[in-house]
Copies of this chain bind each other. A is one copy, B any other.
Amino acid sequence: MAVYTDISEEELAAYLKGYAIGETLSYKGIAEGSENSNFLLHTTGGVFILTLYEKRVERAELPFFLGLMQHLAQKGINCPLPVARSDGELIGELAGRPAAIITFLEGVWMRRPTATHCREVGRALAGMHVAGADFSMHRPNRLSVAGWKELWERARPMADSYEPGLVAEIDAEFAAFEKGWPVDLPTGVIHADLFPDNVFFLGNSLSGLIDFYFACNDLFAYDLATCINAWCFEKDHSFNQTKARALLAGYQSVRPLEEAERRALPLLARGSALRFMLTRLYDWLTIPDGALVQKRDPMEFIRRLRFHRHIATAAEYGLKDA
């Protein structure tokens, strides 16, 4: 929720000489995207997003993220298209940081999504999974079970100070994941962070998916499980089965789930809840209070984790036969 790096008009003018999108008309730091510095850029050539990649994003991984957006956009998925520089590259350098310019997508993200929006998200997620099938690059998911374990080992000594009993509870979760985490489900490129602020709508029509900076190769059904966590719980933590049913039906209208994926869904949803709980907990325990970063409470995802622990079959989420 902050612009970390400001840039001067001279730096920007010099940077834009590497592109064929005209000259600066205006640029405004926007208060979205917690990992990078984003500017809404108007030039004589159009409207764009300029991103400076801050330290959490590794430079070596940018070609995967930007190449994926380019691949998906060319396949007809509504997502930003990286603008190539005159030298053919998608990535430049600005203010000492890797930088890229992508097209601006109109649309608003839904602070209060309805079941109709959830259905559209399911359809778009499956569409992305299908369109990514022939993307040639590969990036492992650093935030799957092994990555969670690392985070947990760093947070564990302080975890009971946040919530008494959390150490025993999460240790037991890891025992379950290490035994039963599925390895033979359909895989491909997943978004891995498809929360409402990463999906734009114009009215009820989905106008774009954004923020592919957690994208990686992993289980398709895990991506869908993350969407259940991201879209189907209310502010009071209650589970909205109508929304989940719509999400799952939307997904299956494009890509029907296999039987093994259906069976795995409750465990995947539990794992996904753990993943978001852990990154929030780690930040909560380690980022100093004075930092200009809005820390988000991990409790929301502890509650989701507990909810999924008591789900026996995906039918309880409202999953129907495809």
CA distance A6 to B105 in the complex (A): 20
CB contact under 8 A between A9 and B108, given known A2-B1, A31-B3: yes
Q: Which listed residue (B7, B8, B30, B108) contacts A30, Cβ 8 A?
A: B30
CA distance A200 to B42 in the complex (A): 14
A29 and B30 contact, CB distance less than 8 A = yes
Interface residues of A (CB under 8 A from B): 1-3, 6-10, 12, 24-32, 40, 42, 104-112, 200-202, 289-290, 292, 294
The 8 closest A-B pairs by CB, nearest first: A8-B111, A29-B31, A25-B106, A3-B31, A289-B290, A28-B30, A9-B108, A26-B106
Closest to A38 in B: B28
Q: Which listed residue (B12, B201, B290) contacts A290, Cβ 8 A?
A: B290
Q: Which residues of B contact A29 (CB under 8 A)?
A: 30-32
CB contact under 8 A between A9 and B290, given known A31-B29, A106-B26: no
CA distance A108 to B25 in the complex (A): 7
Could you jot down 6 A-B contacts, CB within 8 Å? A2-B2, A9-B109, A9-B112, A26-B107, A40-B40, A290-B290
CA distance A111 to B10 in the complex (A): 9
Shortest distance between the CB of A316 and any CB in chain B (Å): 30
CA distance A202 to B25 in the complex (A): 7
Shortest distance between the CB of A32 and any CB in chain B (Å): 6
Q: Which of A12, A200, A292 has the most CB of B within 10 A?
A: A292
5 A-B pairs besides A26-B104, A28-B40, A30-B30 with CB distance below 8 A are A8-B112, A9-B108, A27-B108, A28-B32, A292-B294
A10 and B290 contact, CB distance less than 8 A = no
Q: Which of A31, A105, A202 has the most CB of B within 10 A?
A: A31
B31 and A200 contact, CB distance less than 8 A = no
CA distance A135 to B29 in the complex (A): 34
CB contact under 8 A between A112 and B10, given known A1-B3, A2-B2, A290-B290: yes
